[in-house]
Chain A
Amino acid sequence: DTEVTQTPKHLVMGMTNKKSLKCEQHMGHRAMYWYKQKAKKPPELMFVYSYEKLSINESVPSRFSPECPNSSLLNLHLHALQPEDSALYLCASSQDFVAQEAFFGQGTRLTVV
């Protein structure tokens, strides 16, 4: 199984809502990532978890809250988002550090209204 599974695939939420994005992998990878990608732009790193500990936070606003409950799961909790947060949110994993082949999920396309 070389898949990274993200749910939901699409999400529309209001600015006062709370929602969560979920990412799952069963490849035994110990590094997991959240990226944000706006249309016609490259992915931008948000967070890196290494061995279930947050190792990088790219100065992401606190309305985005990551969580790594175990080595296979990565969540991104969303609260009080703004319309400019609308984007494709990609999860990825790699064996144990960044300079390795990363496997990406298909992403969650988020629209904030």
Chain B
Amino acid sequence: AQKVTQAQTEISVVEKEDVTLDCVYETRDTTYYLFWYKQPPSGELVFLIRRNSFDEQNEISGRYSWNFQKSTSSFNFTITASQVVDSAVYFCALVAHYGFGNEKLTFGTGTRLTIIP
């Protein structure tokens, strides 16, 4: 079974501050994929990143960076110099590879991020 834990339910920071969203996952599979999605108030989920279990290299994309550590089963997301437009609910998600056609995206409970102007 797969499980994703996002312990931070809500976070508020003042604009321009850095903020890190935590994600801890559980899976018995050796092959799996981790994702981050952003859900703004408009409702759609926006894909941010995908990382496979064999690639522990950290990634930076503009103000966003991700820290993947298999040793602690964590895939944390940092926003640098936060902006009001970053306000949204952020979901971490996991897909474990257990058979074509049977993969399921398991979401964490989400972290509601509010950036205060």
Task: Flag if A90 contacts B103 (CB, 8 Å).
Answer: no
B95 touches A56 (CB 8 A): no
A20 contacts the other chain (CB 8 A)? no
CB distance from B56 to the nearest CB of A (A): 17
* Interface bin, chain B: 20 to 34
Within 8 A of B (CB), among A24-41: 40-41
Contacting B46 at CB < 8 Å: which of A41, A48, A104? A104
Q: Is the CB of A97 within 8 A of B101?
A: yes
A109–B97 CA distance with the chains assembled, in angstroms: 31
Interface-located stretch among B11-19, B67-75, B105-113: B105-113
Scan residues 1-29 of chain A and give those whose CB is less than 8 A from a CB of chain B: 4
The verdict on A45 contacting chain B, using a C-beta distance below 8 Å, is yes
**For the side of the interface on A, what is the size category?**
20 to 34
Cross-chain contact of A107 among B44, B47, B107 (Cβ < 8 A): B44
Asked whether any CB of chain A lies closer than 8 Å to the CB of B45, the reply is yes
In the complex, how many angstroms separate the beta carbon of A105 from the nearest chain B beta carbon?
Answer: 6
Residues on B with C-beta less than 8 A from A75 are none
**Contacts A99-B95, A100-B50, A101-B50: A90 and B108 contacting too (C-beta < 8 A)?**
no
Cα distance, A106 to B45, chains bound together (Å): 8
Q: Which single residue of chain B is at the shortest CB-CB distance from A4?
A: B44
**Beyond the given A43-B91, A98-B103, A99-B33, could you list 14 further A-B residue pairs with CB under 8 A, ordered by the A residue number?**
A4-B44, A42-B91, A42-B107, A42-B108, A42-B109, A42-B110, A55-B101, A88-B43, A98-B104, A99-B95, A101-B47, A104-B46, A105-B44, A106-B43
